[in-house]
Amino acid sequence: MAEGKQVWQPGLYDDKLGFVSEYGKGVVELLEARPGERILDLGCGTGDLTFEISKTGTEVFGMDLAAPMIEQARQKYPLLNFSVGNAEAFALDDPVDAVFSNAALHWVKNGQGAAASIWNALKPGGRFVAELGGKGNVAVIIRSLSTVLEKDYGVAAGPLNPWYFPSLAEYSALLEKLGFRVVYAAHFDRPTKLGEGEDGLSHWLKGFAEDSFLSAFEEAEKLAILQKTAHLARNELFKEGCWYADYVRLRIVAIKPVAASAD
């Protein structure tokens, strides 16, 4: 689920960043979708996990802010329904049994707006099941990129950061304030292999960080910044011939009480 300056490239996403959907299959298991349920996949990307959920016999549909990702999802899975929509402010015509989201909500700076939209989208008794980047996610990558920008180019990286990485306590409190009952929450490290060889970190940065942090630079400067960032991060993130992102994930299952009604 993109916002701000992020420009999604569906081909790069599917070809070089497919680990996102692979790890998301564990969140699909946590969803425990049941036949006949109606489920929203929020921030569905190119639809791979929407398709996985559909195998359970549910009526699942996907939503993402990035129109190119939705176009690719429709081409890949023409029998499923996909639409363009903004996670921080959306409304459904009919409420759903569950809202599912994987690796999307950390792109939505307005976490409160997203949570309120999710609350309103759920039936009483419905559930919200999600994984997103948690506090400390890609800290080494952010630190390395920020150091290069600030020391070599005089650019403050903080205002360019597109991500929202809440702590477990922060996110649980946000949901509970709306009325959710948080029944499961985990905040854990998950070092994630970024493909084989030397290019893994560059692919990651091009796919997820270039448009936000480097949009003001020419192509030659971008390449230099990527190389300098990789040099700084190498000791911590390059292991046995491969790059590993220092992922820290937050998983949540929250229930909208049966007594609750949509606002």
The domain segmentation of the chain, as residue ranges, is 10-138+162-196+247-255
Average pLDDT over residues 141-165: 97
The number of beta carbons lying within 10 Å of the beta carbon of residue 41 is 31
Cα angle 135, 137, 140; round to 5: 125
> Which of 205, 194, 156, 245 is CA-nearest to residue 16?
194
At 27, list the tokens. 């969140």
Tracing tokens 């030397």 back to the chain, one arrives at 198
Fold classification of 10-138+162-196+247-255 is: Rossmann fold (3.40.50)
Q: Is residue 233 classed as helix, strand or coil in its secondary structure?
A: helix
Please give the pLDDT value at position 208: 87
At 205, list the tokens. 């940065």
Please give the pLDDT value at position 24: 55
- pLDDT of 13-70, one tens digit each? 444 444 444 555 678 899 999 999 999 999 999 999 999 999 999 999 999 999 999 9
- pLDDT of 190-248, one tens digit each? 999 998 789 999 989 988 899 899 999 999 999 999 999 999 999 999 999 999 999 99
Please give the pLDDT value at position 261: 52
Give the global pTM. Answer: 0.88
Please give the pLDDT value at position 180: 98
Please give the pLDDT value at position 259: 80
Higher per-residue pLDDT: 177 or 262: 177
- pLDDT of 95-115, one tens digit each? 999 999 999 999 999 999 999
> Which of 167, 228, 164 is CA-nearest to residue 201?
228
